[in-house]
Amino acid sequence: MSPELYQNLLTEGGCLDLSARAKWRLSGADRVRYLNGQVTHDVRQAKAASALHACVTNLKGKIEGAIFIHVMEDFLILDAPEALRESLGIRLERYIIADDALLEDITEEWQIWHCFGKIAPESIQAELIGTGGRLVISQRLGLPGCDWWHPISAKAPTLPTSPLTAEEAECFRILQKIPDSPNELNPDTFPQEAGLEKQTMSYTKGCYIGQEILSRIKTTGKMPREMIAWQSNGTQPIGTGASLSLAGKVIGTVTSQTRDPLSGRPVGLGFVRQGLVSVDSELLVADEVSSIQAVVKITSLFNP
C-alpha cells in the first residue's frame, strides 16, 4: 500500500468488497431466543439499521466464528468470513432441535460493499431505489462505516470510490489493529484475548454456549494470552507464525504482519502470555523457517 493511499483512507475513507462472505437468513418464531443461546452478544439488541457484532463460541468459550447480525423484516441476517461458510453453518444448525427456527444459506443472493470514513451513506441512497438493497451501519475497521447489501440479481452498483484490493484491505486491517479469522479469531482464542469484550459480549443476557468460562474470565481478569500490536525496529520481513521471546523464553507468536506505508517497517499483531509485557516492551522475533531474527516493540495491548 502506498503512503498516499493510506493517508487518503484515514482522512477520506474507502470501500471493501465483502460479497464473498458467508451469509445466512434465520427465520421462525424462536429465532431470537435460539440465536441468543449460541452467541456472545444480546441478539435482542439487533436492529435493521445497524449490525450487531458477536462471537459464536464452543463449550470451552473459544471462538468458532465472529459474525455480524442485523434484522430484515421477520428474519435475522448473519454474515461471517467466507472460509467459515460450511463449518459455521453446520455449527449454527446443530442445536436447532425443538426450536421454531430455520437457517438458510443466502450467500449467493447478496453482495456486500462496506464503505467507511467520510464516504457518507447519502452518496449511496440513490443507488438503492428499486433494487431491494439496504444500508446497515457497521464498524468493521475501527472507523464509522456502513454495509451496502445489494442483490446479486440487481444491476451492478456504482460505488462512491474504487474498492480496495484484497491485499490493500488486509494491509489496512492490520494497520487498524483489527483481529480477523483465521489469524487471530479461531478455536484457540477467547474473545477477551482478542480485545473483543466491549464490541461482542453481553454479561447480562443469560446463558449461551461457553458462557460459564467467559464469565469466569470477566470475574478474575485472568486468561492465557493477550493480543498485542507490534512494530519492528528493522526493515526485514517477519513471517506469520514467528515466535516472540522475552529474556530467552518464548512467550508468544506473530499472527498477522504487513508493512507500514509511512515508516516502511514491518508491523503486525500477535499473542503473548498475559501479564508479561507492557507497551514499549521489546521482544525478540525468531522465524525457524528462514532463521530471520528481529526486534519488535509493542505498540498496543488489547486487555479486556
How confident is the model over 165-209, as pLDDT tens digits?
A: 999 999 999 999 999 999 999 999 999 999 999 999 999 999 999
- Measured in whole angstroms, the distance separating CA 288 from the mean position of its chain's CA atoms is 28
The dotted CATH code for 224-301 is: 2.40.30.110
Same fold, 3-175 and 224-301: no
First to last CA, the chain: 31
| Average pLDDT value over all residues in the chain | 92
Q: Supply the pLDDT for residue 128.
A: 65
How confident is the model over 120-158, as pLDDT tens digits?
A: 666 666 566 567 788 899 999 999 999 999 999 887 777
Domain boundaries defined on the chain = 3-175, 224-301
How confident is the model over 229-264, as pLDDT tens digits?
A: 999 999 988 989 999 999 889 999 999 999 999 999
Q: Supply the pLDDT for residue 123.
A: 62
- Residue 148: closest CA among 178, 125, 117: 125
**Inter-helix orientation angle 3-11/166-175, to 10°:** 70
| Arithmetic mean of pLDDT, 92-104 | 93
Q: Supply the pLDDT for residue 81.
A: 97
- Is the domain 3-175 a CATH 3.40.47.10 member? no
